[in-house]
Amino acid sequence: MTREFPKGFLWGTATAAHQVEGNNIHSDWWEWEKIPGKIKKNERSGIACDHWGRFEVDLSLMRELGVNAYRFSIEWAKIEPREGEMNDEAIRHYQNVVRLLLGAGIEPLITLHHFTSPRWWAERGLWAAPGAATAFCGYAKLVYREIAAECTRFTTVNEPLVHLGGAYVLGLTPPEKKGFLNLKAPLVGMLECHRDAYWALHADAAERGRKIDIGMAHHVRVFDPKRRWNPVDILTAGALDRAFNWTLPDALETGKLRMKIPGLVNIDLEIPGLARTQDSFGLNYYSRDLVTLGFKDGRLEPVLSPKSGRPTNDLGWELYPEGFLRSLRRVHERYPRLSVLVTENGIADHADRNRSEFIREHVDTLSAAVSEGIPVTGYLYWSLLDNFEWIEGFDPRFGLVEMDYRDLSRKPRPSFYKYRDLIRAHAPSP
């Protein structure tokens, strides 16, 4: 059934620089990927999809798809390969990307940091480096002034806790630190980076008489107790939900950073100037986990698993559109003043068997949310193209467009046309 989406609703797709552009040679990941055993099958991002060299091909795909928005990230390591040294070619490249998108009637939605960082910055300690906020803010201002002065929507950091959790708690991504004790310093540093960029960009925009929207893209997952009536599972799922889903957006609302998982982490502090530094809620929704408590390396820790008997994507993540509605409702209840932009939602589906249905169900869910009065402003499918899925390498296929990595040719999948039709059906009547 076709319900009305608000006027100006954004229909689009999302990508991230490191996953599609190729040759991110000055980034922390580039070096790290060379170490055997880090990425599945020892794959490396390499030329990826050569989105850098073939942007115009991908732009024509977007036009064919009929989107009016494209979320992508700018790669700091390309803009500033060495500290203080800006790369004109990279700046020109992104200027061109923005110009071409605007010319095609596609709104550029810009992410400043999507998991990867310049190596020089990483070597100094990433978000916890001395002067981190000054460096990040300098980069953010440069992007705004030189590349994106015509753009309106910005994400400072993509999935802050997925990024920091992988890098500082689970030790799966660079700099591979393990244990909750490592989390506090980079977390605080990241929030200071965000805060300074938020105020600086707003000041710049105001000087130009423009109004912009800045936030983060938060990964919200549903955590349900594995055994519905088991108090330990209920408490653990609740603690994980509070820590993973709400620590960051709460901090951006209240200025208070509070994260507590008994026995694992206890952070409670105030960051001056951080309150009310998100103008909308960027929501990445993928799946749900069932939660129980179990022993891992001799200590009790939350253990996650998909619900058995339910359909999953190629990575084993449960397909759970109801969780999308649950998440949208919770975001709205918690932050009633914020509109919600779905910055990512997608499925790894090599055979393209479930993707069309996945999108349809999630868009239906979204329209249910809209009719409940939840102010949703857009939906961005992850992803336009198959791409380099971090430690999983190139195997997972999230794309509406299939990549043949041998010759970098692109082929829209059947779901590409289904999404195109769906966008057309939902387009507001003129």
Chain residues in the site for ligand FCB (CB under 6 A): 16, 19, 158-159, 162, 219, 284, 344, 382, 389-390, 398
Shorter beta-carbon distance to ligand FCB: residue 158 or 280: 158
For 109, phi and psi rounded to 5 degrees?
A: -110, 115
Cβ at position 183, least distance to ligand FCB in Å:
18
Instruction: Look up residue 146 and give its DSSP letter.
Output: I
Shorter beta-carbon distance to ligand FCB: residue 71 or 202: 71
- CA-CA distance, 295 to 70, in Å (whole number)? 43
Q: Which uninterrupted H or E stretch holds 273? A: none
Cβ at position 217, least distance to ligand FCB in Å:
7
Q: Is 75 a catalytic residue?
A: no
Shorter beta-carbon distance to ligand FCB: residue 187 or 217: 217
For residue 291, list its beta bridge partners: 225, 304
The structure tokens 């060495």 sit at: 82
Cβ at position 159, least distance to ligand FCB in Å:
5
Cβ at position 389, least distance to ligand FCB in Å:
5
For 294, phi and psi rounded to 5 degrees?
A: -150, 170
Spell out the long-range contacts of 194-198 with Cβ–Cβ below 8 A and sequence spacing 24 or more.
194/156, 194/157, 194/252, 194/274, 194/277, 195/133, 195/271, 195/273, 195/274, 195/277, 196/133, 196/134, 196/136, 196/137, 197/112, 197/136, 197/137, 197/140, 197/141, 197/156, 198/156, 198/277, 198/278
Cβ at position 345, least distance to ligand FCB in Å:
10
- Amino acid letter for position 295: F
Hey, what's the torsion of the CAs at 373, 374, 375, 380, to 10 degrees? -130
Cβ at position 327, least distance to ligand FCB in Å:
14
CB 318 within 8 A of CB 306: yes
What is the CB-side half-sphere exposure of residue 296 using CA atoms within 13 A?
10
Cβ at position 106, least distance to ligand FCB in Å:
20
Shorter beta-carbon distance to ligand FCB: residue 136 or 381: 381
How much of the chain is in helix, strand and coil states, percent to nearest 5? 40, 25, 35
Catalytic residue among 33, 80, 159, 318: 159
Shorter beta-carbon distance to ligand FCB: residue 284 or 367: 284
Shorter beta-carbon distance to ligand FCB: residue 253 or 386: 386
User: Which residues touch 394 (CB under 8 Å, ≥6 apart)?
Assistant: 43, 386, 387, 388, 405
Shorter beta-carbon distance to ligand FCB: residue 18 or 332: 18
Question: How would DSSP label each residue in 52-65?
Answer: TTTHHHHHHHHHHH
Active-site residue list: 159
